[in-house]
């Protein structure tokens, strides 16, 4: 039986070539296929494919490779100026992310950077030598067209924001924009190390996303890998100002990381009049859930005596369904939860609760890394 090909990764052409070289030196046959960019919110680039039987070996190589591993070195302390980064793809839910991000920036006294990463799928080295000159001319024209279109789209968003500010629909906040060429998730993560944002505000399609987007979602990847808190805004959000979120649920797995995440959460919502609903991520039939939730609530109240905190034990059964019922019953406006950096194997075969919820709820998610 013929061994079928599976997609190992999607990268820029340059990184795909490096990965191909690394794998081939280990005796793994690699095929590189271009990916058409059908939708801007779905990752685009070059598809690195291998035989299915080589997948376990290839994943181990990726895990052991310093070039492919995530940067675990401590970053230099960033200036204390609050900054809000808003990656956009010019969709309707990107506009909503801009509105909410700007309103939050005004409340927090922060500046705003609107970012777009665009991808140009042209690779001269993939063309026969005799056609290179003609191809490069066409390529340059095409790349310029892509950049021109992106600049026009960004200027249109800025014009809309300025109009809303002049009309009093949005507060006047200092903002700027930046354009980066490359895969959106990679460029967002790279730019975060330069810009040092306090919060990332991103749009997402929420429950309407297809299963194929679970792996390719830019927002999902940023949530999983980035260290900066991410506020994911679904397209069906009912408000455009953080201050309208009166009921915010905070998920706990009774882990010490939650204590760190809660401090970060309280710093982000400082000055807002909110009701915090603690709830348990585990829905197993455990009588200790009530006791532990009560203990967590009492601990948080000691740290923040002025906070309005209650707790709810989720019903037994499917976690996502239990959360949906909880959100509906308690009229939850936003869900806050913590996640932590995990290796590529864990992310691929066991997506985090945060990533799963991104695709199963139309409630905004505030995700902190602990």
Which of 2, 37, 34, 32 is CA-nearest to residue 20?
A: 32
Query: Does residue 350 register a pLDDT over 80?
Result: no
Q: Residue 87: its pLDDT value, please?
A: 94
Q: Residue 93: its pLDDT value, please?
A: 79
Query: Does residue 127 register a pLDDT over 50?
Result: no
Query: Does residue 95 register a pLDDT over 80?
Result: yes
Mean pLDDT of the chain: 77
Distance CA 240, CA 364 (A): 11
Please give the CATH architecture assigned to the domain spanning 81-122+135-221: 3-Layer(aba) Sandwich (3.40)
Q: How far apart are the first and last CA of the chain?
A: 46
DSSP code at position 221: H
- Overall residue count recorded for the chain in this entry: 370
Query: If one looks up domain 244-366 in CATH, what number appears?
Result: 3.40.50.620
Query: If one looks up domain 3-62 in CATH, what number appears?
Result: 3.30.70.1530
* C-alpha 150, offset from chain centre: 21
Whose structure tokens read 């839910």?
93
Q: How many CB atoms lie within 10 A of CB 359?
A: 21
Contact of 31 with 49, CB cutoff 8 Å: yes
- Element at 76 (helix H, strand E): none
pTM of the complete model beyond 0.85? no
Query: Does residue 125 register a pLDDT over 60?
Result: no
Band (139; pLDDT cuts 50, 70, 90)? low
Highest mean pLDDT among 3-17, 76-90, 102-116, 355-369: 102-116
Band (342; pLDDT cuts 50, 70, 90)? very low
Band (208; pLDDT cuts 50, 70, 90)? very low
Average pLDDT score over residue span 193-202 = 94
Task: Tell me the domain boundaries of the chain.
Answer: 3-62, 81-122+135-221, 244-366
Q: Bigger pLDDT: 362 or 202?
A: 202
Band (111; pLDDT cuts 50, 70, 90)? very high
Per-residue pLDDT reduced to its tens digit, 273-318: 999 999 987 655 566 778 888 888 999 999 999 999 999 988 777 7
Average pLDDT score over residue span 31-58 = 64
Band (260; pLDDT cuts 50, 70, 90)? confident
Distance CA 236, CA 205 (A): 8
Average pLDDT score over residue span 105-117 = 95
Per-residue tokens: 48: 């690195």
* Lowest mean pLDDT across 10-24, 41-55, 88-102: 41-55
Same topology for domains 81-122+135-221 and 244-366, yes or no?
A: yes
- Dmax (CA) for the chain in angstroms is 74
Q: Residue 336: its pLDDT value, please?
A: 92
Average pLDDT score over residue span 241-247 = 90
Q: Bigger pLDDT: 321 or 130?
A: 321
Band (81; pLDDT cuts 50, 70, 90)? confident
Q: Residue 64: its pLDDT value, please?
A: 65
Query: Does residue 65 register a pLDDT over 80?
Result: no
Q: Residue 113: its pLDDT value, please?
A: 97
Band (133; pLDDT cuts 50, 70, 90)? very low
Q: Residue 218: its pLDDT value, please?
A: 81
Distance CA 226, CA 232 (A): 13
% residues pLDDT > 70 (the chain): 72
Band (47; pLDDT cuts 50, 70, 90)? confident
Contact of 163 with 98, CB cutoff 8 Å: no
Q: Residue 254: its pLDDT value, please?
A: 79
Which of 135, 344, 102 is CA-nearest to residue 231?
A: 102
Q: Residue 37: its pLDDT value, please?
A: 41
Which of 84, 117, 290 is CA-nearest to residue 198?
A: 84
Query: Does residue 183 register a pLDDT over 70?
Result: yes
Strands (E), the chain: 5-11, 30-34, 46-51, 83-87, 111-118, 175-181, 199-204, 230-234, 247-252, 275-280, 308-312, 334-339, 365-369
Band (146; pLDDT cuts 50, 70, 90)? confident
């Amino acid at each position: 039986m013929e061994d079928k090909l599976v997609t190992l990764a999607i990268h820029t052409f340059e990184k795909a070539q490096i990965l191909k070289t690394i794998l081939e030196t280990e005796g793994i046959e690699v095929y590189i296929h271009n990916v058409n960019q059908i939708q801007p919110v779905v990752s685009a680039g070059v598809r690195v494919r291998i035989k299915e039987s080589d997948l376990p070996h290839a994943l181990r190589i990726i895990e052991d490779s310093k070039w492919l591993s995530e940067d675990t070195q401590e970053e230099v302390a960033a200036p204390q100026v609050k900054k809000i980064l808003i990656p956009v793809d010019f969709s309707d839910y990107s506009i909503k992310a801009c509105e909410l991000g700007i309103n939050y920036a005004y409340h927090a006294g922060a500046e705003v950077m609107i970012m777009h990463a665009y991808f140009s799928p042209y690779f001269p080295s993939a063309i026969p030598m005799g056609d290179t000159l003609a191809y490069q001319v066409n390529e340059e024209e095409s790349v310029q067209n892509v950049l021109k279109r992106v600049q026009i789209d960004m200027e249109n968003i800025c014009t809309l924001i300025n109009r809303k500010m002049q009309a009093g629909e949005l507060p006047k906040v200092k903002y700027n924009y930046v354009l980066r060429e490359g895969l959106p998730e990679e460029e967002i993560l790279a730019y975060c190390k330069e810009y040092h944002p306090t919060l990332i505000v991103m749009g997402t399609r929420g429950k309407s996303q297809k299963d194929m987007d679970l792996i390719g979602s830019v927002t999902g990847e940023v949530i999983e890998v980035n260290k900066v808190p991410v506020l994911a805004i679904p397209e069906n959000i009912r408000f455009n100002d953080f201050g309208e979120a009166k009921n915010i649920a905070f998920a706990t797995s009774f882990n010490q990381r939650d204590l760190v995440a809660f401090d970060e959460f309280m710093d982000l919502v400082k000055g807002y009049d909110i009701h915090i609903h603690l709830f348990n991520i585990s829905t197993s039939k455990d009588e200790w859930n009530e006791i532990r939730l009560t203990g967590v609530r009492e601990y948080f109240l000691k740290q923040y005596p002025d906070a309005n905190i209650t707790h709810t034990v989720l019903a037994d059964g499917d976690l996502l369904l239990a959360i949906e019922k909880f959100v509906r019953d308690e009229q939850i406006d936003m869900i806050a939860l913590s996640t932590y950096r995990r290796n590529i194997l864990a992310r691929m075969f066991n997506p985090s609760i945060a990533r799963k919820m991104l695709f199963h709820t139309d409630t905004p998610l505030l995700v902190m890394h602990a």
